[in-house]
Chains A and B, each alone.
Chain A
Amino acid sequence: MGILIGLLVPLGILVLIAVFVIGIYNTLVRLRNQVDNAWSQIDVQLKRRHDLIPNLVETAKGYMKHEQDTFTKITEARSRAMGAGNVADAAKAEGALTDALSKFMLVVENYPDLKANANFLSLQETLTSTENKISFARQGYNDQALFYNNKIQMFPSNVVAGMFSFTKRDFFEIENEAEREAPKVQF
């Protein structure tokens, strides 16, 4: 009888610990997936912006004969962003694209004919929204990454994280000051 209890008690404790560790492990995996998902959401929105540009340029071109320079900048930044080989180049090109687009939206104010075009108005709303979605996706990623990083560093989940090598995620930060200001699209 005594031997049986002596065996069962440590066994019970071991099972409890195992259940506990499995629970934390699953939470960490779920959080990591959420961070990955939030990251991919940024790419989804950037791609949406790339798809939008040809249509936008096509609609606006006819009305804005004197703004060839702006259009070239937009198309160039877009093709550089799409063809970028590494993350740093892509981020730089996307930054340039954001700049070019916000300049374009400023210039639009001088073309009342264009602003009366229903097709353009709907494109303009889509563009505003896409710019917003890009910055909200970045914000959402940072929130999610912060929560995940906190979880990895705090006891007791840090022990499990160490055992299965969950690593911290970097925050999304915009390098140059100019782009930090950019998300406001003026109409």
Chain B
Amino acid sequence: MSNETILEVDGLKTHFYTEQGVVRAVDGVSFDVREREIVGIVGESGAGKSVATTSILRLIEEPGQIVDGEITYRDLTIVGFEEQDDGTLTPREAMLSNREMRDQVRGNEIAIIFQDPMESLNPVYSVGHQVTEFIELNRELSGGDARQEAIDMLREVGIPEPENRFDDYPHEFSGGMRQRVLIAMALGCRPTLIIADEPTTALDVTVEGQILDLVKDLQTKYGTSFIWVTHDMGIVAEICDRVNVMYLGEIVEQGPVDDIFHDTKHPYTQKLLESIPRPDRTVTELDPIAGTMPSAINPPRACRFHTRCPDARVACTEVEPRFVAVGNDADGDGDEHEGEHNDHRTACIKYDDVGYWDSVPLEKVGDRDIQYVGDRS
């Protein structure tokens, strides 16, 4: 893929300063988004998916704070730090002000769609009013033009008779229709990138199918890029071009969707895929990941997955894994050809030359499910 990179996230850290301690919700995450592609961020609850994406729009609220890293959108610096003489990090001059974020980025360049449309829509205003207002705020349209654009967008996302439904209130729409309204609002501002945070998770599967079809159609038509946050590997397989797999605040594997599913490298990704029941074949015995996700306040040392990893060795508790490229051979013939990519990376020392194979396997702790440390959600 030779499309231009529009968003680059590099070493992002977003922490939450709570009474219990510092929650390292996103702890050094790097990925990018190119023109016209759908990038997935997948992981279980607590992985940091939503914190990572809301950081992109700088919508992190107290006690959360972006503490390190760079986020660049085209030539705009959304997040950037420089080190002072005393070693502390301060925001760079080039970093957009809150006002610039609002005026130049949010809505008209990067829009966001959340899981629960009822939380994003105001129950006391009509749907048409809200879509119109959003378009007025973000585009140079007003009055009748904005209203017409709102009607056109509502029709575009499959709301029947939008003129007649314009004055209806959010509660008069079904869940699927509300999600369509949010897509209409997001699209109405013609953004380059839409962040979709589990937008179909609350919907029934047939309605989810309708929304996925709609998104694919609109993406082809408008060339919008998407960051799609989900825990559903089925959705990832269907719509994503590239995927980032997150575990406990870090990306453990990233690459083209086919590599993630068919040339899986990281043990966490492997176990995640093995633990999902399949709609298309009968599995006699699922192989779950042992234990539960540890707390992000005191994450396990070195590789954060080592407490649950079936392949863990002593080295995994000592060596901080770094990203290694693992995907130079798309067709599996042993050579890297033109057109094959090296986008596939994983943070597992099995694939690095740092002594994993000489190390001793971690003793099987039996059913490692029984852990209470920090597990008090």
Q: Do A and B bind each other?
A: no
